[in-house]
Amino acid sequence: MPITIRPAFEQDIPAIAAMVNRFAAQDIMLPRSEASIRQTLADWLVAADTSNHALAGCGALVPLTETLVEIRSLAVHEDYQGQGVGGQLVLALVEIARDQGYEQVCALTLRENFFTRLGFEVVDRWSISPKVWQACIYCPKFHRCDEVAVSMPLVAAPAKAEESKVPGWNGLLRWDAWQPLKLAYQQRPSGGER
């Protein structure tokens, strides 16, 4: 099946929403409305089957800071899974992030091995603190999150200047600024809440 990775078009919105929300109903990802997809359409890529024009997959880039961007809503239609479509989408999104001047790309995933095979590293979710502050705190799964944070640097790491940096400094937020949120996460309710 010949697959083309291309920007999403207006006519793709219903199929994107249907695919993402089908996986969201399985608690694999968060739902997206057609309105939210429309508002961010320029950030979306799709994998299109050129033989039948079916939507094989989708994914979006979401800027978190001037240097950090997140891959979000990565989905591959069940008929196309296991054929490399997801990898093609991720690598295309990474290339766009690099072209746009981002220094790092991250994702939260239930499939960490998929991302590590593509060159991502598993990281502490608190190392991508802008994501936690901007989106995770509003997620219904926040206190029982089962996703793994992964990250890929898009620029060479600078030489280490000093080892006497303030503990917990990640270059994005001061240690004392994100500690209350980390404590709230660690003190999440236990049990079978859903």
Q: State the Cα–Cα distance between residues 20 and 56, nearest whole angstrom.
A: 12
pLDDT tens-digit map of 87-118: 999 999 999 999 999 999 999 887 889 999 99
* pLDDT in the model for residue 163: 47
Q: State the Cα–Cα distance between residues 4 and 6, nearest whole angstrom.
A: 6
Domain regions of the chain by residue span? 3-157+164-186
Q: CA of 71: how far to CAs of 58, 81, 120, in Å?
A: 11, 18, 12
pLDDT tens-digit map of 120-136: 999 987 777 655 455 55
Say if CB 87 and CB 59 are below 8 A apart: no
Strand bridging mode 44-49 / 55-63? antiparallel
Whole-structure pTM value: 0.75
DSSP state of 191: S
pLDDT tens-digit map of 8-32: 999 999 999 999 999 989 888 888 9
Domain 3-157+164-186 has CATH 1.10.645.10: no
pLDDT tens-digit map of 40-75: 999 999 999 998 889 999 999 999 889 999 999 999
